[in-house]
Homo-oligomer: A and B are copies of this chain.
Amino acid sequence: MAVRVGVLGATGAVGQRLIQLLDPHPDFEIAALTASDSSAGKPYQEAAKWRADSAIPADVATMTVGATEPDAVPTDVDLLFSSLPSSIGAAVEPDFCEAGYVVSSNSSNARMAEDVPLVIPEVNADHLDLLEVQQDTRGWDGALIKNPNCSTITFVPTLAALAEYGLERVHVATLQAVSGAGYDGVTSMEIIDNAIPHIGSEEEKLETESKKLLGTFDGASLEHHEVEVGASCNRIPTIDGHLENVWLETTQSVTPDAAAEALEAYPGLDLHSSPDPLIHVFDDPSRPQPRLDRGLGNGMAVSVGGIRSSTFGLQYNCLAHNTVRGAAGASVLNGELLLENGYL
């Protein structure tokens, strides 16, 4: 029987992508949609300006949108996916958790909180049990789990696959798609025939979230990884797909061939949205490319190419779909992990 789920912030860009992924999902059934007060009470198709490249699901179209507060969500809903703006997420997600809901959130608030698991299932599923600490500490019946930022998700699986060589220093330059800023985030006048070498707070997210994701959980507390990460973030005129250039310095030397082997061998999980293979490795040094490769594994795969020895160690490029693997799909996958591990 499908778990009844809700979407907090259902009218936004990530909310729409969540609905695209949840509507056909075998394990989940959309039972609640919330949005801002101005949308509450309206049918979804009226509240949302649907802009996805597939038709709005018929049963979702006519659902009534509720306010974003615990009382407005049916009590038989077990799991909430949150794509709220971070300031609103910070204000209301704890209310939902206190009211007993399990929240799988894409919002950036609380990602670095000590007792909030920040999870990419294929990388650090064991961090999930931090939820027990969380429930003890906060006295919640519900729980809060986060997925990382879209550009963090893109390169961290490649680090995890190479961790056996001893991660020391990572330089990462990102070429990020406009969808990462939301539907209205980047105007056309800003980006056509242009690039912008700055995305507010983004570099800090890559540098801190990666260490938490790669950290060690001993059952009681989480120790962050000591790898040093330096990021430089750029916005470019692509619709979807974040491309990243990585330089990696390791304690043990690693040849490009050995790296390719480790990346290809890095396992996915037996969860509905986890792709097989998790990481595609290209021989062609001009791949991966956003338009050609963002769809791999239904948008949930990571792809890697241009693996080479460099002046400073290992060098390669990686790519993932920023609104699927990097946002909505990441939250859904965390939901699947919660289900698999008996948290629902």
Contacts and interface: CB of A to CB of B under 8 A. Distances in A.
Nearest to A286: B198
Interface stretch (A67-75, A79-87, A88-96, A226-234): A226-234
**Copies of this protein in the complex:** 4
A281 interface: no
B183 A187 contact: yes
Given A229-B311, A310-B230, A312-B228, A290 B236 contact: no
B317 A192 contact: no
Interface in A131-189: 169, 171, 173, 175, 178-179, 183-189
Interface in A181-203: 183-198
A53 interface: yes
Contacts of A247: 171, 230, 232
Given A292-B53, A310-B230, A243 B195 contact: yes
Contacts of A317: 197-198, 232
B189 A179 contact: yes
Interface in A207-239: 207, 228-230, 232, 234, 236-239
Interface residues of A, number: 56
Given A173-B245, A197-B289, A286-B198, A315 B230 contact: yes
B190 A192 contact: no
B312 A197 contact: no
B178 A192 contact: yes
A197 B288 CA distance: 8
A268 interface: no
Contacts of A193: 192-193, 237-239, 290-291
Interface string A241-258: 001010100000000000
Interface of A: 13, 51, 53-54, 169, 171, 173, 175, 178-179, 183-198, 207, 228-230, 232, 234, 236-239, 243, 245, 247, 285-293, 295, 305-306, 310-312, 315, 317
28 contacts: A51-B189, A53-B291, A53-B293, A171-B312, A173-B173, A175-B195, A178-B188, A178-B189, A184-B189, A185-B187, A187-B187, A187-B188, A192-B291, A193-B237, A193-B238, A193-B239, A194-B290, A195-B289, A196-B286, A197-B285, A197-B286, A197-B305, A198-B286, A228-B311, A228-B312, A230-B311, A232-B315, A239-B291
